[in-house]
Homo-oligomer: A and B are copies of this chain.
Amino acid sequence: MAVRTPDPDPDESGEGALPSDPLRGVGTAGGGTANPAWLSDVELAEARRRIPMLYVEAVPVRTDGVGAVTQVGILLRATPLGEMTRSIVSGRVRYGETVRDALFRHVENDLGPMAFPQLPASPVPFTVAEYFPIPGVSAFHDDRQHAVSLAFVVPVTGTCEPRQDALEVTWLDPAEAASDALAAEMEGGRGTLVRQALASVGALR
């Protein structure tokens, strides 16, 4: 399947947005309205070809009364080209932003303000996923950049109302979430990431 970027950030002027992003005007000079430390579209595109980009990713889960994972939330997204693809919560860490704040921001962006996520107390991810622009270097692939992602399992206790380009959250049981069928639909190799997430919580068979 076509691979797309982990983090279009379409609501952020000049911060990670693709020039071709249909949800924002091409002409908005990013640096103008945002933090001056942030990058314009051109600068960000340039940096993406030169520096590893730091990302956070979250696999949303539902847990039972004693913390065991019962369901995994998979996002359905529309790509800028109108294609449908499956993914997880994913986005870039901004300059000056803590990893926790970035994780919270992207969970809220993708799952809505009523998801009530329980961010982990530990800053240690369950894995570090390395996305390379050339396929085959690792399990993960991103046409656009070299991205290194800190990936977390995040229990959510509220109601998910996807925002932005995430159209829907589908809740799957662990066996479905680990299936080859789902992996084939997920972008950039994230089926592997979901399996590693399940393994980290003892829910992979």
Contact = CB atoms under 8 A, between A and B. Distances in A.
Interface of A: 37-39, 43, 47, 49-54, 61, 63, 65-69, 93-101, 103-104, 118-128, 130, 132, 137-139, 146, 148, 150, 153, 155, 192, 195-196, 198-202, 204-205
15 contacts: A50-B95, A52-B93, A67-B118, A69-B121, A96-B132, A96-B146, A98-B130, A98-B138, A99-B128, A99-B148, A121-B153, A124-B125, A192-B205, A195-B199, A196-B204
B120 A67 contact: yes
A196 B192 contact: no
Nearest to A107: B66
Contacts of A119: 63, 66-67
Given A121-B61, A122-B200, A124-B127, A100 B54 contact: no
A204 B195 contact: yes
A18 to B, nearest CB: 17
Contacts of A67: 100, 104, 118-121
A130 B100 CA distance: 11
A99 B38 CA distance: 25
Contact of A51 (B39, B153, B192): B39
A138 to B, nearest CB: 7
B49 A37 contact: yes
Given A49-B37, A66-B100, A199-B195, A54 B148 contact: yes
A101 B137 CA distance: 12
A146 B204 contact: no
Nearest to A196: B199
A52 B54 contact: yes
Contact of A122 (B43, B146, B150, B201): B201
Contacts of A192: 204-205
